[in-house]
Amino acid sequence: MRWGSTTSSSLGRANLAAYVGLVPVGATEQHGPHLPTDTDTRVATALCDAVSGTVENTIVLPPIAIGCSLGHGTTFPGTISLFPEELARLLVRYAEWSAHSGLTKLIFVNAHMGNVGALSTATDRLRFLRPDLQSGWVDWWHASAVVQQAVTADGEDIHANRAETSIMLYIAPESVDAEAMLGADDVDRTGGLTFRYTAEALSRNGVTGRPSEATAELGKTLFEAAVDVIAAKARAGLTEQPPLKPSQRSNDYGHCPHD
């Protein structure tokens, strides 16, 4: 089920308290000469749709299409970014507002490395300020050890690389400029650096990695592996409770009740 294509009355009847929400968290940013600027949003949305197709009682919320892309700078055209604190606020608002319709469990499915700080901040705020809600996030490139190894095979600082291009060849082949892809390789220059820099100081064309080696077959393998991991989390999330029930928790914090 998709939130955005469902009527209000259908959402009301669905008993969203029994659902896990999947929020695609993407970006709009330069992705080298061969991939569209909405690559991360497409990847996150496709993952959520695929998970929702296999796990009952999951609903895909509207994708977050603008993420935190400050690392891409302004030299390469196409990037539109929030600042991390703005994205964190937006993520918290997603949780608060979906809860108004009864949905209290959210998994943010992230396809962009620059969003990690905001996702950590938002879910940290939520666990402290809104213990009545449950939220967590998954970065697709960390979905499993196998995925992570394949993703970083052509450099640690991944962007528009072999793995990401492969996933796009699998889910949206018409969006990949195949000719540009063959000449788009650039090396990871972040190894051993002490400080952080924006993309124009690190890459000649906005790419880090070897997209020329991308294949739809590799994309299918990585995509399906990520879907399996996210689906397992969603399935578990349907019934997950905090490990200690309120009645099992310590109420002796070592201070005198009369202080």
Binding-site ranges for Zn ion (CB under 5 A): 39-40
- State the nearest-atom distance from the C-beta of 117 to Zn ion, in Å: 16
Gap between the Cα atoms of 238 and 229, Å rounded: 15
- CB 164, min distance to Zn ion, A: 5
The residue number whose beta carbon is nearest to Zn ion equals 40
Identify the three-state secondary structure at position 246.
helix
Cβ at position 16, least distance to Zn ion in Å: 30
**Closest approach of Zn ion to the CB of residue 229, in Å:** 19
Sign of CA dihedral 200, 186, 64, 122: negative
> Please, which residue, 20 or 47, has the CB nearer to Zn ion?
47
Question: In angstroms, rounded to a whole number, what is the distance separating the alpha carbons of residues 134 and 104?
Answer: 6
In this complex, which beta carbon is closest to Zn ion, that of residue 157 or of residue 233?
157
Write b or e for each residue in 108-137: b if 16 or more Cβ atoms lie within 10 A of its Cβ, otherwise e: bbbbbbbbbebbebbbebbeeeeeebbbeb
| Shorter beta-carbon distance to Zn ion: residue 107 or 160 | 160
Task: Pick the closer one to Zn ion by CB: 38 or 94.
Answer: 38
Cβ–Cβ < 8 Å for 170, 216: yes
Phi, psi for 64 (deg, rounded to 5)? -90, 110
Q: How far apart are CB 29 and Zn ion at their closest, in Å?
A: 7
The residue among 39 and 134 lying less far from Zn ion, judged by its C-beta, is 39
